[in-house]
Amino acid sequence: MRTASLFCLLALAATACTAPRTIVSSGKVTPRGEFKVGGNLSFNVASSTLDQAGGAIKNFAAAAANKDTIRYNASVDKLQAAALSYILDPVQPSSDLYVRYGLADRVDVGYKYAFGSHVFDAMYQFLGPVGTPERPSGQAGATYGSIGLQYATQRAKLPSIPYLDNISDVLRLNASRHDLLVPLVFSTSFGPEEQAGALSYGLVYSHTFLRYGIETPKIYNNVGSSQLPTLPTQRRNFSSYGGFLSLKLGYRYAYIVPAVALYYQDYGTYPLLNNRTAKLSGLTFIPSIGLQFRIPTSRR
C-alpha cells in the first residue's frame, strides 16, 4: 500500500499541470556575472479542485469508465467541472529545477524546468546595494526590492492515476496554457549582502491564458439516441492575486529555502457539453522547500 501511494505521489510530481508559483527569489538579484542553481519541492492545494472531487463524483467516474455508452445527466457536468478544475489548478506535489544568471548589476535572468512546464523570467532590482558577500556594499539588515516578469508554457492533461484516469476514459480533455506572472519582492538581509540568507516577502499577480476542448467517445444524449457533439476549442483567461513569505538560510554558497504562497483566483465561467457551463473560483495554498547554490565568478 505504501509503495503504491509513493508511486502515485511521484507520478503526480512529474506531471505538473500549472506553472510553478512558488517565489524563492529574494529582493536582491543575482550579482552580475554570477550564477544561482537550485530546486524546489512544493505541494499545490487548490480549494476549487478539492470541492469538485467529492465521493459521489468519484463513484460516478469509476462506474462510467466501465461502460461503453453513458447517457448525459447532471453528473456528466460535474465530471467536466472536476476535470477542468484539475487542469486549472491541481491538488498535487510538484518539483522544479532552475538556473539564474546575473546579466547586469541590477538585472538577472533565469530558466526553470518544472517537469512539463518551461519557465523563463527576468528580475530588476530597484532597491538596495549590488555587492557580493566577498565585496559587500551593504550592511546586515539592509532592505532589497525587485520586480520581475515570468512566462511559462505547457500542454496540460489529466495524469494516469486513480479517479483522474477514470475521467480520462469518459472524457477526452485536451488543453494548453500560457502563464504570465509578476512578482514584487522585498527582502531583509541576514548579514552583509545576504551572506547568511534573507527574509523575503511580497505580492504576486499572474494571468493565465487557457485553450481546451472536450471529445465525447462514450457520451450520448439523455435518451441515448445520438452521441453528444464534441466541444470545440474554447479560449479563456483569468487573473490570480497572491502573497508569499520565504526564508533563505545558509552561508555564502549553499542555502535552504522554505516558502509559502497563497493565491485567490476567479477562474470564470467555462462552456461544457450540451450548452452547459461551470463557474469556478477558489484559494490556492502552496508550501515549498528548496535548495539554492550560489556560484561566484573569479573576477567578482
pLDDT value, residue 178? 95
Q: Where are the alpha helices (DSSP H) in 185-280?
A: none
Count CA within 13 A, CB hemisphere, residue 113: 5
Cell numbers 463524483 correspond to 57
pLDDT value, residue 13? 46
Residues contacting 196, CB < 8 A, separation 6+: 190, 249, 250, 251
Is the alpha carbon torsion for 121, 127, 133, 134 positive or negative? positive
Closest by CA to 111, choosing from 125, 97, 92, is 97
Cell numbers 535552504 correspond to 256
pLDDT value, residue 30? 96
Q: How far apart, in whole angstroms, are the C-alpha atoms of residue 194 and residue 143? A: 10
pLDDT value, residue 190? 97
pLDDT tens digits, one per residue of 86-127: 999 988 898 999 999 999 999 999 999 987 789 999 999 999
pLDDT tens digits, one per residue of 40-67: 999 999 999 998 877 778 888 888 888 8
pLDDT value, residue 298? 57
pLDDT value, residue 12? 45
- Put simply, whether the predicted model's pTM sits higher than 0.75 gets the answer yes
pLDDT value, residue 138? 84
Closest by CA to 137, choosing from 199, 187, 189, is 189
Which amino acid is present at 74?
A
pLDDT value, residue 299? 56
**Mean pLDDT by groups of 10 residues along the chain of 300 residues:** 43 56 94 95 93 81 86 90 91 93 96 90 96 89 97 84 82 92 97 96 97 90 85 95 97 97 96 94 96 81
CB atoms near residue 127 (< 10 Å): 16
